[in-house]
Amino acid sequence: MFPRRPVALMALLMISSSLQAAPAPAITDETKIPPYTLPDPLVCADGTPVREVATWRSKRRPELLELFAANEYGRTPAGRPAGMHWQVTSLDRAALGGKATRKEITIWFSENEKPDSPRMHLLIYQPNGVSAPPPVFLGLNFFGNHTVHSDPAIALARPFTFYEVDRYRPAAPGTPANSEQRGVHASKWQIEAVIARGYATATAWCNDLCRDHVDGLKDPAGVAALFSTGGAEERAADAWGAMGIWAWGLSRALDYLESDRELDAKRVAVHGFSRLGKAADWAAAQDERFAMLISNESGCGGAALSKRLYGETVAIINGKFPHWFAKSFRTYNDNEAALPMDQHQLLALIAPRPLYVASADGDQWSDPRGEFLGAKGAEPVYGLFGKKGLGVSEMPALDTSVGETIGYHNRTGKHDMTGYDWARYLDFADRHLNRPTP
């Protein structure tokens, strides 16, 4: 029987007020976390257990990808756009004191090359004097390519045109990014160290793809406009947001790398820090051309379990960043128990490729233990492939790197990507990406 009208009306009012309700406060006391149950990565939605790689590949993996697209990150258009093309805009074979070659490439996402045509600027440093095309670390940066190294030859990023959410606040809207910012994020990129170990590094600014702003999806020069996505509120419930677009951009950067015979596109480690770590996780989950994933303090919506209510929650992240995830993700605001999947299953989608998850002890907002448990929860799928994952059952001591095909450490210090982190990633890459592709 249908409820009588006043009851139905009251229910509607309750639903709409719960949609607007302030998020429940974050829990930061381990003893206050409510009990939760994680869905099994190796049991299909219809109850079929996954006992073979073939079942994982044909059934469970597509099923999980669909759950993440429909309920969290939104849907990604397949492949590259028809008119996509690129142009090398600078090339210097004597960069970094002769140790590296620096390249800049503009990747246009349509046939147009007008001032507001969607595009991405890729910056690459590759080691000189190597005997084979080197493996590549690929990641997006927060503030523009010119911030990853103080090299004065790096082209400045296009000016900001409006405030960027909680990250970079120019004195007034419209204040351009300026050369004072050159190299401000150099410590997060460690380019000399990467080159010295025989790897190339490639990066693009996330804002080239989608401005990190509540109105970012409306930017006429952004990728959202190219696909007529609509604004953060106007788009379809399962349409992508900034996170999906950033992940897509990483795959488009890989398209370019595949065309560059001086680099080994079969050995690309995609990496990301924080919000850009979430994007890297989603990129590697979807695009199996990425040979490795490094997820640095990716937290909520990244490597940390959502159902474990510690630190940032789904309601908090959706409230603060309404443009990051699909609108459908808001269904789970303060309702994480209803999620049909969780982030350990996202990490499981990387299997059998090497995966490194890293936390920082001073970054409780990202939930270090939740990130460790995310990695741990992916392990059974690595086992299915005959790979040993973390190989430990408890979180390791601070500043201790563990694991085989899944690496993990919890660094002392704040939310950051440091020389310590990079040294661990380079060691991990040496173990897993050390053989040149024939």
Chain contacts with ligand GTR (rule: CB under 6 A) = 166, 274-275, 299-300, 312, 317
Residue number with CB closer to ligand GTR (300 or 341): 300
274 is catalytic: yes
Q: Which is nearer to ligand GTR, 28 or 437 (CB)?
A: 28
Q: Which two tokens stand for residue 336?
A: 């994480």
Taking the complex as a whole, the smallest distance from the CB of residue 303 to ligand GTR amounts, in Å, to 11
First to last CA, the chain: 68
Q: Which helix (H) or strand (E) holds 87?
A: strand 85-95
Q: How many other β-carbons are positioned within 10 Å of the β-carbon of residue 162?
A: 13
* Catalytic site residue from 251, 274, 366, 401: 274
- The least distance separating ligand GTR from the CB of residue 234, rounded to whole angstroms, comes to 24
Dihedrals φ, ψ of 72, to 5°? -135, -65
Would you say 195 or 417 has its CB closer to ligand GTR?
A: 417
Place of tokens 């990387």: 350
| φ, ψ of residue 250 in degrees (nearest 5) | -65, -40
- In terms of CB distance, is 140 or 224 closer to ligand GTR? 140
Strands (E) across 311-416 are located at 355-360, 406-411
**179: annotated active-site residue:** no
Phi-psi region of 228 (alpha: psi -120 to 50; beta: other; left: phi over 0): left
Residue whose token pair is 């310590």: 420
Closest separation in Å from C-beta 177 to ligand GTR: 18
Give the nearest distance from C-beta 316 to ligand GTR in angstroms.
7
Between residues 104 and 421, which has the closer beta carbon with respect to ligand GTR?
A: 421
Helix (H, G, I), strand (E, B) or coil at 141: strand
CB of 300 to ligand GTR, least distance (A): 5
- What is the edge-to-edge ordering of all strands in the sheet holding 136-141? 85-95, 100-108, 119-127, 200-205, 136-141, 268-273, 292-296, 355-360, 406-411
> Known catalytic residues?
274, 415
